[in-house]
Amino acid sequence: MEQKAHILIVEDEQKIRTALTDFLEFHDFKITEAADGLEAERTVAKRRFDLILLDLMLPKISGEQLCTRWRRDGMQTPIIMLTAKGQQKEKVMGLNIGADDYITKPFSLEELLARIKAVLRRIDPARAVGQTFKFADLDVDIAALKIKRTRACATTGADKKKEIEITKREAAILQYFAANPNRVISREELYKEVWEETMTELGTRTTDMHIAKLRSKIEKNSADPQIIKTVRGAGYKYEN
């Protein structure tokens, strides 16, 4: 069974905190609450969360300070900032403190839910597509590190599954493309998400080599790729 995503809600207004908890628990998330900055800091030091909803204005330690500290310490957990009118996007984005998204109060719960899902999808492709998924005309099995292509057998006309082995890295690349269809993905983004490293010259070569190898396995003609397409000067795209 897939585990529930665990969200930390950091919000000092009790009414809002409770409403968020009720709503998100209803939508099948696991929730932990923190009522001020200090409690949030202590909670985060103890365990890992899948996502943090962080109010900007908090007693003791502000959301802004928390976010800055966590990012400085290398914490990668996605953060959605909750801001009130008047302290809006210019502030959060201008500060460049490392939040993944922000939402301005008052917001609709449905909108927040959409943002949460989008951020989780972006950050964790495994949650978005699972261990087995369709990729163009391929069946991908991440756990088995295998892909299968259905092909009509020339002599009998019967469907025949051709099995192809893939590496862990190739599986991670497929999973990332599957979770982000119809969007141009730069080499930088791919490298950051799949190798979890910042782009270097070597990283560019590594990415290209892996894509080439993967294409030789999945494309009918790797000189003219139709599944993972090249977007000149921008990156790659999987159209679904």
Residue 16 in the binding site for Ca ion (CB under 5 A): no
**Tokens 């990668």 -> residue:** 76
Alpha helices in the chain (DSSP H): 14-26, 37-46, 63-72, 89-95, 109-123, 125-129, 168-179, 187-190, 201-218
Instruction: Provide the token pair at 1.
Output: 């069974």
Look at residues 174, 171, 168, 208 and name the one whose alpha carbon lies nearest to residue 188: 208
**Please, which residue, 26 or 107, has the CB nearer to Ca ion?**
107
- CB of residue 56 vs Ca ion: minimum separation in angstroms? 7
Which listed residue (57, 109, 144, 199) binds Ca ion by CB under 5 A? 57
- CB of residue 48 vs Ca ion: minimum separation in angstroms? 24
**Please, which residue, 54 or 140, has the CB nearer to Ca ion?**
54
Number of residues that bind Ca ion (CB under 5 A): 3
Stretch near Ca ion under the rule CB under 5 A, chosen from 56-64, 92-100, 125-133, 152-160:
56-64
Residue 64 in the binding site for Ca ion (CB under 5 A): no
**Please, which residue, 38 or 57, has the CB nearer to Ca ion?**
57
Instruction: Provide the token pair at 109.
Output: 């719960």
Residue 55 in the binding site for Ca ion (CB under 5 A): yes
- CB of residue 58 vs Ca ion: minimum separation in angstroms? 6
Q: What is the widest separation between alpha-carbon atoms in the chain?
A: 74
Asked, as a colleague might, if the bond just before 106 is cis with ω within 30 of 0, I would say: yes
Stretch near Ca ion under the rule CB under 5 A, chosen from 8-16, 46-54, 90-98, 183-191:
8-16
Count CB atoms within 10 A of the CB of residue 137. 13
Residue 12 in the binding site for Ca ion (CB under 5 A): yes
Q: How many degrees, rounded to 5, is the angle at CA 178 between CA 172 and CA 183?
A: 115
Question: Which residues lie near Ca ion (CB under 5 A)?
Answer: 12, 55, 57
